[in-house]
Amino acid sequence: MAEKLRIIVNAIPLVNIKTGVGRYIEGLYRELQKIKGLEIGFFDGQTVSSSMPSLRSIGSWAKKADLFWRLPTPIALCLRLILHFRRELTFKRLVSEFDLYHETSFFPFRSPVPVVFTIHDLSLLRFPEWHPRERVIFWRLFFRRRLKQAKEIICVSEFTRKEVREFLAIPEKRLHTTLLGYDPFLFRPASSEEKERVRKKYSLPEVFYLVLGTGDPRKNFRLVDKASPLLPHPVVSAGWSGWSSSPEKRIHFLGYVPDRDLAGLYSLARAFIFPSLYEGFGLPVLEAMACSCPVVISKEASLPEIGGDAALYIKDVNDPFSLVKEIKKLEDPFFRNERKRKVLRQAQRFSWEDTAQKTHKIFLKALR
């Protein structure tokens, strides 16, 4: 192996609105860039750069995405395939300059160099009904064939690792778990001044509960909608609506909220509600806890790995009264303050530095 390890990473998710995969790339590679001997190239679909790409215009991107999701499945699939093959041709021309390729999204491009593939979850395999039809077909066309290219596979939780082993029959020796982290400069208990600024900016109620990302059916925010009339305080939602039109009628929507306002939003909320039916990791839960915001979450999939004994768990994700029961516990100020301390301690168990150190070792293993 050369003295300097040259890695090319699929950073295309960073030129879209920032979801969990984008945060993963950003947090992981900010730490990997600190490791001596690593030279990182970020592939944005058109070129490779030594700096991370970013989304230039959220409004323009959202309009294009909204238009795309409205297209008939055959047309949307055709457009996705054309874009993919264009990117793959560009990638093929650029990848030979690197020693290792890290794929962070759907599946790897064809690659003459060793591949490390991060699998975030298997929702497209297990629950295709939660995704746009064209996305499911696109994934099925390539995933299993391209999976064979990966020398090492990274899973973002023990839950995901077990699913990959069970449903894809991948040998244990090729599977690795690297729990994710959070940015302590971005996600931390906000100051009084910061909270007041965010409250005024979004005209927030004095007391409210927070939910994020209501457009994805797996997030199960129908439960929050059903429970909202029974809750002591109003519910506020932040985030891009995604490909699914939201059925919730009794929730106040803020729309997209920039990163700089998230700590204030989490810190103001009485609780963060996350009744998701399926998560590969659940970064919003970790980020809320890092802001000392009590979290009320489901027991599904990976979420107990993140919440530990600090979270409040919804016993039945189909029963609004089960959610209300846990939420009402936080009306007791002593109990609430205890939870605020517990979630902060739980969040501090996770770090991007630890994720990066483990990932670096996996990269080295892939080159042996």
* DSSP class per residue in 279-345: -SS-HHHHHHHHTT--EEEE-STTHHHHHTTTSEEES-TT-HHHHHHHHHGGGSHHHHHHHHHHHHH
Do 223 and 167 reside in the same domain of the chain? no
Do 176 and 197 reside in the same domain of the chain? no
Considering the entire predicted model, what is its pTM? Answer: 0.91
Per-residue pLDDT of the chain (368 residues; tens, 9 = 90+): 457 899 999 999 998 877 889 999 999 999 999 999 999 999 999 999 999 988 766 666 667 777 777 888 899 899 999 999 999 999 999 999 999 999 999 999 999 999 999 999 999 999 999 988 999 999 999 999 999 999 999 999 999 999 999 999 899 999 999 999 999 999 999 999 999 999 999 999 999 999 987 567 888 988 999 999 999 999 999 886 553 444 445 678 888 888 999 999 999 999 999 999 999 999 999 999 999 999 999 999 999 999 999 999 999 999 999 999 999 999 999 999 999 999 999 999 999 999 999 999 999 999 98
Distance CA 98, CA 92 (A): 11
Distance CA 256, CA 17 (A): 9
Do 133 and 205 reside in the same domain of the chain? no
- CATH number of residue 282's parent domain: 3.40.50.2000
Considering the domain boundaries, does residue 197 fall inside one?
Answer: yes
Distance CA 99, CA 266 (A): 41
User: Given strand 312-314, what is the order of strands in its sheet?
Assistant: 252-255, 235-238, 209-212, 271-274, 295-298, 312-314
Do 358 and 343 reside in the same domain of the chain? no
Considering the domain boundaries, does residue 260 fall inside one?
Answer: yes
pLDDT value of residue 244: 43
Do 21 and 134 reside in the same domain of the chain? yes
Do 84 and 148 reside in the same domain of the chain? yes
Do 24 and 139 reside in the same domain of the chain? yes
pLDDT value of residue 246: 46
Do 244 and 337 reside in the same domain of the chain? yes
Do 317 and 343 reside in the same domain of the chain? yes
Considering the domain boundaries, does residue 187 fall inside one?
Answer: no
Do 15 and 110 reside in the same domain of the chain? yes
3-state SS class at 206: coil
User: Which residues 6+ apart lie within 8 Å of 345 measured at CB?
Assistant: 310
Residue 68 domain boundaries: 5-181+351-367
Do 97 and 119 reside in the same domain of the chain? yes
Domain count, the chain: 2
Distance CA 295, CA 274 (A): 7
Do 264 and 149 reside in the same domain of the chain? no
State both tokens at 216.
């994805």
Considering the domain boundaries, does residue 104 fall inside one?
Answer: yes
